[in-house]
Amino acid sequence: MKIFIDTADIEEIREINSLGILDGVTTNPSLVAKTGKPWKEAIAEIVTEVSGKPVSVEVIATDVAGMVKEAKELSRIAENVVVKIPCTEAGLEAVARMNNEGAGVKTNVTLVFSPLQALLAAKVGATYVSPFLGRIDDISYDGMLVLEEIINIYEVYDLATEIIAASIRHVDHVRRCAELGVDIATVPYKVIKQMFRHPLTDLGLERFLKDAQAAGITI
Ligand code: E4P
């Protein structure tokens, strides 16, 4: 499973990228706004920091022509830009239009909450589709169940669009994503940090070091 980080914070991206486990970045307008930086500056820093790895950047327009125009502008920023497009009728038409004209824009259909939306995203040739697990849980439905249904449909029809499990809230979401074999999980910084930790690792290391010291072991 590929691991993306879901943030626009350059320090968080830099730290996790240096750990050697990062495959890409997803941002959205809310995450970029949180940085307090001018939009262009924040995006330029990120695409350079993780050069060669996909970085999702979202359009603001909501009509087809506006989304296509913004998508083309965004994808000119760097070769690793993936354009996030909302899963509306206009959004899917924009993705279809760009693919039909061979615009070479990589797309991530976002704000996906049902298997049928995911099916339509694949039909228009989206590069990625992002079902939002946590936000589905928030309305008292089961985000993991929706994800499983999407994976099953994609397998049955051998669809090429890659699935990004998004809106991840805790480590158990990540574990279950890996068990289901999802292509990618985009994970917030705090949850990535928690994935490294286990109390028995700390305890075991403490004991090993104590014993090594007592035995006078040096390397
Ligand atoms: C996905 O690409 C989105 O940026 C993100 O996962 C949304 O998560 P949230 O529901 O925690 O805001």
> For the segment 115-152, what is each residue's pLDDT rounded down to a tens digit?
999 999 999 999 999 999 999 999 999 999 999 999 99
Nearest CA to ligand 1 atom 1: 166
Q: Residues lining ligand 1, judged by CB closer than 6 Å? A: 6, 26, 28, 110, 130, 132, 134-135, 166-167, 186
Query: Per residue, what are the HEC states of the chain?
Result: CEEEEECCCHHHHHHHHHCCCCCEEECCHHHHHHHCCCHHHHHHHHHHHCCCCCEEEECCCCCHHHHHHHHHHHHHHCCCEEEEEECCHHHHHHHHHHHHCCCCCCEEEEEECCHHHHHHHHHCCCCEEEEEHHHHHHCCCCHHHHHHHHHHHHHHHCCCCEEEEECCCCHHHHHHHHHHCCCEEEECHHHHHHHHCCHHHHHHHHHHHHHHHHCCCCC
Cα-to-centroid distance, 166 and ligand 1 (Å): 6
Nearest CA to ligand 1 atom 8: 167
37 has catalytic annotation: no
The pTM of this model reads 0.96
User: For residue 84, which atom of ligand 1 is closest to its CA?
Assistant: 2
Residue 163: the pLDDT is 99
**What does pLDDT average to in each consecutive run of 10 residues of the chain (219 residues)?**
98 98 98 96 97 98 98 97 98 98 97 98 98 98 98 98 98 98 98 98 98 97
* pLDDT tens-digit readout, 157-176: 999 999 999 999 999 999 99
- Say yes or no: ipTM exceeds 0.90: yes
Residue ranges and CATH numbers for the domains of the chain are: 2-214 (3.20.20.70)
Q: Which of 2, 37, 53, 84 is catalytic?
A: 84
User: For residue 26, which atom of ligand 1 is closest to its CA?
Assistant: 2
